Structure 1
């Protein structure tokens, strides 16, 4: 059954990682239920997800993913096109049924289901984060310990993630050749454009590509990037290794290490748990809006399919909102003054 389901998903062009994780969820449910798929019931579903939510504390988004995997597997089993109902009926005198229904599973009713505590970083928090990462490099060097190169890599990686609004895997998968020249901004040299080749994929599609322009407010990141690529990275990277971020063994850094390092800095700085690596991307969106960039431009920069997704990411400061209101009041007052002058000028 699992082999057939795997083939079905692969024929839909789903990623191997997605297929493997879904299969692991079904196996986990199978162990919990202590019964075969043709014996599963709605009560098994209720007990399984109650334990995951109440005892293990799974988040809402994770719970939805688990339920989707189980529902999809059962939809495959009950589909007459694959013959499993007849096969089970002949062998066991019963057949599998769909036991994940609307009344015992959650529904995905909105685009963003992140926890309310997830938020963007403030201007001061961004600066504190970068200063903390830079100070770590200086501290290691002053103490004569190993690890200064890795510390510098982590510091520059954080800055690049924020300065170009990248997701975790997008920044991890960058190669040195993923930067290019922007003729409209020649002062940035070959770092005027960042070409993202491993953007977030839609279901059954390859990673989505996009280009991100270097903006003037973030040009400080170019200097750090050039220092890493030209002066430091060659010390640990082999000639045949294209990865921008490599370990001292010349391998591309692991995905988990990106989040782990951010979480370490977050804890050391005393940031609340709602701040995570993705907060850098949220901050990028929010700060570009505060800089005055059009929402459509910001949407293209971060690669959102819909403008509503970009608006969910936007978390502008109270000072920015006050400036918007003040500007609106000044415009209204200006129109009133002009209107009054026009009325006085009438014969």
Structure 2
């Protein structure tokens, strides 16, 4: 198929244009769709029918939201997914196809330097990916592999953060420009692990999202984290309080907020409340977090382990289950059902043996001390 025909299909009445987009928005949006279609049918050799089906889906969500893709948010995507899943009751496989179309389109324009610059220049907005593993239906093979690749081990967690300590020392020694991002990333990733937060929850945090826990005054103002977490069955986001259970987190947060974050504020709005900021002074986005996480894996030599940022949440559930009851772990991580919490646990024979030996040794110590 010729390029002219592809352009005609991506902008013709066969794919209804989004409702009420301003003329400039529609022109740029159509160009994005045209280039995306050309890439897929050209160098990627994908079938025209499949490409045009995905363009129809992107147009459909655009009409639903009522604005161009560079204005979309995670909430817009959640509302649209509720419509196709609950109201229209599409099959799970069809819902997954719809989500993949949106995710792939956004991935294309986010990685396209021209479109990123056009959007930043014309609208003052940074293109970002709003579809993640947290708000999309996983493929069957992803669900099957979740146990094998879902969690950090204790040794890997130690290796990961030791690598950050070394990298920060090295960057400080040579006054490298990556020093501040490394310092921010250490605080961000340790918070993800210590509190078992979802990516969206951590990135939505503000500096006022913490409060003291009177029962543990040693943690100062960082005894509890207030988050808006994932709801169940289309119920929308739910508020929950996450208790801080790791003694190293409060001093790390205090250091970050007092010594590191102010340096990001030099290029930020004076009233910016976001806890984690990009180098441009904006709230850190999902795509930036994922890129920085990959950098962290490289530092620690863990790239081959198939870990994702969500692996911190799996590791948190796994490691906390060795310290607290299942009910305590369930509540901390915001799961409705204990079965969901158990699905996050990655307990191997060595960990079970270690726990048994520790309990027995503790009992023997108590007997000897009498």
Q: TM-score, normalised by structure 2?
A: 0.59
1:205 aligns with 2:235: yes
Change in 2 beyond 3 A, CA 1:183/1:270: same
Alpha-carbon distance in structure 2 between the residues aligned to 1:121 and 1:134: 18
Q: 2:316 aligns with which of 263, 279, 284?
A: 284
1:153 aligns with 2:181: no
Alpha-carbon distance in structure 1 between the residues aligned to 2:177 and 2:327: 45
Secondary structure, aligned partner of 2:227: strand
Unpaired segments ≥5 residues, structure 1: 24-60, 71-105, 331-347
Deviation at 1:107, TM superposition (A): 11
Bigger mean CA offset, 161-170 vs 139-148: 139-148
Unpaired segments ≥5 residues, structure 2: 1-14, 20-59, 66-73, 84-91, 102-136, 362-370
Deviation at 1:155, TM superposition (A): 1.0
Counterpart in the other structure of 1:222: 250
> Does the 8 A contact of 2:227 with 2:240 survive in 1?
yes
Write out aligned runs for 1:259-278 (5 A).
259-271=290-302, 272-278=304-310
Change in 2 beyond 3 A, CA 1:158/1:329: closer
Counterpart in the other structure of 2:175: 144
RMSD: 3.8
Q: 2:206 aligns with which of 156, 175, 197?
A: 175
Secondary structure, aligned partner of 1:176: coil
Alpha-carbon distance in structure 2 between the residues aligned to 1:120 and 1:219: 21
Counterpart in the other structure of 1:307: 338
Deviation at 1:173, TM superposition (A): 1.1
Secondary structure, aligned partner of 1:290: coil
Q: TM-score, normalised by structure 1?
A: 0.63
Which structure: larger Rg?
Answer: 1
Alpha-carbon distance in structure 1 between the residues aligned to 2:359 and 2:166: 42
> Does the 8 A contact of 2:293 with 2:309 survive in 1?
yes
Q: 1:126 aligns with which of 154, 157, 174?
A: 157
Counterpart in the other structure of 2:274: 243
Change in 2 beyond 3 A, CA 1:155/1:64: same
> Does the 8 A contact of 1:192 with 1:214 survive in 2?
yes
> Does the 8 A contact of 2:172 with 2:179 survive in 1?
yes
Counterpart in the other structure of 1:341: none
Counterpart in the other structure of 1:81: none
Kindly report structure 1 stretches of 4+ aligned residues shifted beyond 4 Å: 1-10, 18-23, 61-64, 67-70, 106-109, 111-114, 323-330
Counterpart in the other structure of 1:54: none
